[in-house]
Every structure is written in structure tokens, then in C-alpha cells.
Amino acid sequence: MNEDRLRAAVKSVTAPPRLQARIRSDIRESERKNAWGRYLLPVAAAVLVSLGAGIAYQLGHLRMTTGSQESYIASVSGRVANVMKVGLGDHVHCTVFRKFPKNPPTFEQMVEKLGPDYEGILPLVKDRAPADFRIVMAHRCSYHGRKFVHLALRSDSKLLSLVISLKRDGESFTKENLAPVLSESGIPMFQAGVQRFEIAGFESQKHLVYVVSDLPGPKNMEILTALAPALRDLLNKVKA
């Protein structure tokens, strides 16, 4: 058999023009999908990582045992004066290690939880707190056998607590040789910072009052300063 004859016979068959068109169309389609893939893949990866981080964050909170919470609070509190530990401990215990519900309680529910002596704090804080913070919790709690009036405020990822507690055994900022950083309407203001927490405090006749947050120190102090005069007047009227 002559190979040229065979070759000529086989090569007499040619691909139909529509086949080229189909192939080019396939390639264009594949390119289009790949282009989407190029954009979608990083986006999907970012979403997954965020989701994973969110879940890990949430689970981390849920799984943190009381022991490890206490250990953390002790390690943080160990570096501030005793009188500052009071506000910081309750903030970390009650605000930081808490999973807040999506829908905070209503104003009326919070009023009810604070009780008649302290319910006046709510409108006061609502009026004077920075506009981007909203009250997500207001209640009376206890920590290490000590009772607190506690308001938690939130702005995106920032947390802020207004912590109020009755003085014990003549507790005072000045007794611990702390120097006021400023005075507002004759009220000395005290400040401390440890790790990411900023603590600003003052005292009324019977109460120690703290604003604790992860805001910068001056901003944290500014919030306390805005609250202090009215808050002191209100607390001084509370019957012990």
C-alpha cells in the first residue's frame, strides 16, 4: 500500500468550520469562568476566614472557663491599684466575657433591672454618652461578693462599662495615694491603664464610679468627665 495514497485519502477529510467556532466559544467561556474564579476565590477565602475567625472568637468566649476568666482578670488587675481593680474586674467579668444578645433589652426592662434608686442613671447616660455608643445592658450584678450597678455600652467592637459600687471600709482613690489627673466641677478624676483597658474613676459620698473601656485614655476620661457632675448628684441622693 502506498502510504502517500493512504495519507491523501485520510487528509481529504477536513474539520467543519463550525467546529472551530465551537472550540473558540468553549475557550472564551472557560476564560470568562476563570476570570470569575480569579475574583471569587479570594473573596470566598476571605469570607471563610472571617467566618472561621468569628466562630473561633465566639467559641473562645463560650468555652473560656470560669477559672481561666479569673486567671485572666487576676493577671490584668494585678498591675493596677486596688481601688481600680474594683471597676476593672467587674468590667472584664461582666462585659468582656459576655455574649450580648442581638437585640438588647428595652429601656423599660433596663429601668426595671436597675431599680428605683439607680434608674435615673439610664437617661443620664443616654444623654451624655457618645452618640455612637448604645446601651446594651443595664443591671445590678455581683462579683467576688461585691454588688455593682453596671451599664454596658457598645459601639461596633468597642465596649464600655459604667461601673458603680458602694464604698467598703472607707475605700477611696486618695487613700491609695493616687493623684487626680484632672478635676471637673470640683470632682477629682483618677485614671489608670493596663493592657488594652483604660479605667477612669471618681467617687461620690458613698460610691466608687468607674468608666472602663478599650478606648484611648483621654477619650475614656472624657466620657467620665461628661457623666461625673450629674452622676455624683444622683448618687448622693441614693439612700444607702
List residues near other proteins by CB under 8 A.
1-3, 5-16, 19-20, 22-23, 26-27, 30-31
Report the Cα 22 to chain-centroid distance in Å.
Answer: 56
Least gap, CB of 1 to other proteins (angstroms): 5
10 Å Cβ neighbour count for 107?
13
Q: Are 150 and 94 in contact (CB under 8 A)?
A: yes
Least gap, CB of 38 to other proteins (angstroms): 13
Nearer to other proteins, 38 or 102 (CB): 38
Least gap, CB of 44 to other proteins (angstroms): 20
Nearer to other proteins, 17 or 101 (CB): 17
Q: 181 φ, ψ to 5°?
A: -85, -25
Q: 101 φ, ψ to 5°?
A: -70, 155
> Which residues lie closer than 8 Å to 140 by C-beta, 6 or more apart?
113, 114, 115, 118, 147, 148, 149, 150
Helix 121-128 to helix 217-236 angle (10° resolution) is 150
What is the enclosing helix (H) or strand (E) of 184? Answer: strand 182-184
Counted residue by residue, the chain has a size of 240
Least gap, CB of 7 to other proteins (angstroms): 5
Nearer to other proteins, 30 or 75 (CB): 30
Nearer to other proteins, 37 or 218 (CB): 37
Q: 167 φ, ψ to 5°?
A: -65, 150
Nearer to other proteins, 36 or 57 (CB): 36
Instruction: Dig out the grid coordinates for 58 from the structure.
Output: 465566639
Least gap, CB of 13 to other proteins (angstroms): 4
Nearer to other proteins, 21 or 74 (CB): 21
Least gap, CB of 42 to other proteins (angstroms): 19
